[in-house]
Structure 1
Amino acid sequence: MTQVVHPARALWWLFEPVHALTYFSPEARAAYEAAGLRGYWRGYFGGRSAPLGAVDAAPVVTAFFNFAPQMVERALPEVWSLVTPERALEARVEGATGALRRVLVDVKPDLIDRSVELLERAVDGLDCWGRVLAAANAELPRPDDRLARLWQATTVLREHRGDGHVAALVAEGLDGCEALVVRCALDTRRETLQPQRGWSDTEWDEATARLIDRKWLAPDGSLTIGGRRRHLALEAATDLSASRVWTTHFHRFELDELLTALRPIAAACRADLPASTPIGLPNAA
């Protein structure tokens, strides 16, 4: 039986791998280090939060949602003594563009150009009410380089969907650690995800106990039938909140054209990423 996939999710599956290069490529790591952000997490928190300005940890804990506060506090605001937000943004684009230049070497330029054209039209049509990360990224100047423009457009769209996902999680009554516990009950190993988000064993076990008490999880830690239904509902809410721009600013044939143009781009980027990541990246299939 053919699975029906919401258009907003189908597009996310394709633009998320483009954005994700900034977290895993050697070019991105080298660019951050050259800017003075040595150590992976300085680059991550400095680069991703830079559109917000030289903020303290608290707004980033809230916006990023699933990191333990103490993990964010180890990086922010200390990184701003090492680099300005403007320099962090320069390094972010430099690293992402360098990675795309390497990864997309065999992708036809006309597919990249058409993807940029359509993705930027989507960015121009976004409603960013209540979406702090999307709004901050959407306000950044548009680069001249077409690969930088490709990355920036996918980043705005990715953060827009992510902001909506956080809203759906909050509406379901989940906190950051609980959301990760649910994720691990679905498709990810705790041993992989927990250290990457900084939660202690006590915090993780307490979140698990809360989810068992609320019937999200069975005593063995697996999702209950009710938990699966609630998870599907929050994913549907995420798709719906990300869909307006695609349904109001694009004809169906344009969406099909964008999907066609993005597929080889996404495939090339996905092939350069780890098989398993902690960022919710769709699997290669």
Structure 2
Amino acid sequence: MEATRTTTKADVARRLTRQLLEPIHLVAYMADEPMFALQAIGYEGYWPGYFASRSAPLGRVPAEVVDALFYNFAPGEAAACIPSCWDVATPEAAMAARNEGCVVALRRILGGLADSAQLARAADLAVRAATSAPMEGRILYAGLRSLPVPDEPVARLWHAATLMREHRGDGHNIALVAAGIDGQEAHVFAAIDGGMKPREYGRLNPLTTDQLAAVVDGLRARGLVDESEKFTAAGRELKDHIEAVTDALAASAYDCLEPDEIAQLIADLEPLVARIDAVGYEEVS
């Protein structure tokens, strides 16, 4: 998709950040290697390492800050891991473990593409965009911007993808807050948008039956969800509006790239993401 007169900046942002860079970033949560790397430095299970490594660019901030920035975790989930996670390892050690695990995972998944010229070129273009986006209001992104950019191409690409994913995520939180949708309501919206019942959506599992019913009932009372737990016309319109605002807020990151560079970045990323889609994130034993 080239940046032409019929393609908006928001369209470009959705294609690049959501569809092409986010799958690269997601090895952090979907592949085994980052989890194993975090467990190797002392984190037990999954969530302590997740909260430690993702919040590490912020330093040793209280659980309330992490909960606010991550936005959509159930009450108490952040506090169950923070600040106790810093008794296991420093923020710097947690970041290093995650980064190393992600590079190992990407190399496994991408195979020969990991050392290709197109990956190196994509990494350079993505880094330019990722280090040119506005930081105002993007706290987690700003924390990541304070870190050095790796030189090795695979690490460089993952770092850029992570910057862009968190930049978009910070903007998505802004859009949700402006629309009056809280974190658990956002999960219900995501479930319905994906054709699921709210209870089928894994990120809502920490809520009790009564807590989840209260969230859904609140959306129903506002005319956003119907009795069958699907969007009303107003709910569908609001969900689409939130996504449109999110894409618009992400678009300025790509202003530093010329149209031909955007087209090149898309062309270089597409086979990488196709490989990820074909192979999957988990290691086949």
* 179, 196, 199: which one aligns with 2:207: 199
CA contact (8 A) 1:66 1:197 kept: no
In the alignment, structure 2 segments of 5+ residues that lack a partner are 1-5
1:23 aligned partner: 29
How far residue 196 of structure 1 moved from its aligned partner, in angstroms, is 5.8
Task: Indicate yes or no: 2:93 matched with 1:84.
Answer: no
Moved over 6 A (4+): none
Contact 2:103 2:154 in 1 (8 A): yes
| Counterpart pick for 1:10 among 12, 15, 18 | 15
Aligned to 1:40: 46
Q: Normalising to structure 1: TM-score of the pair? A: 0.90
Q: Structure 1: which 5+ runs fail to align? A: 276-285
Measure the CA separation in 1 of the matches of 2:38 and 2:126. Answer: 26
| Residue aligning to 2:246 | 238
Is 1:94 the counterpart of 2:94 in the alignment? no
C-alpha displacement at 1:197, in angstroms? 5.9
What is the alpha-carbon distance in structure 1 between the residues aligned to residue 264 and residue 79 of structure 2?
Answer: 43
Q: Is the 8 A contact 1:36 1:83 kept in 2?
A: yes
- CA-to-partner distance for each residue in 1:86-121, whole Å, 9 max, x for gaps? 100110111001101111113161111111110011
- Name the residue aligned to 2:67: 61
Equivalent residue letter for 2:182:
D
Distance between the aligned counterparts of 1:82 and 1:117, measured in 2?
34
- The equivalent residue for 2:224 is 216
Shift of 1:71: 1.4
Identity %: 36
Amino acid at match of 1:181: V
SS at 1:48's partner residue? helix
Between the aligned partners of 1:80 and 1:192, the Cα distance in structure 2 is: 33
User: 1:89–1:190: structure 2 CA closer, same or farther, 3 Å change rule?
Assistant: same
Count of residue pairs brought into register by the alignment: 272
- The AA in structure 2 aligned to 1:173 is G
Matched, 1:175 2:182: yes
| Bigger mean CA offset, 99-108 vs 71-80 | 99-108
Amino acid at match of 1:32: L
For the aligned residue pairs, the C-alpha RMSD in angstroms reads 1.8
Kindly indicate whether the alpha-carbon contact (under 8 Å) linking 1:52 and 1:133 is maintained by their aligned counterparts in 2. Answer: yes
Q: What TM-score do you get using the length of structure 2 for normalisation?
A: 0.90
Q: Is the 8 A contact 1:71 1:197 kept in 2?
A: no
Structure 2 residue aligned with 1:139, among 120, 136, 146? 146
Which residue number in structure 2 is paired with residue 282 of structure 1? none
Contact kept, 8 Å, 1:21 with 1:269, in 2: the verdict is no
Q: For residues 61-89 of structure 1, what are the alpha-carbon distances to aligned partners after superposition, in whole Å with 9 as ceiling and x for unaligned?
A: 11111101211111111110111101001
**Partner residue in 2 for 1:278:** none
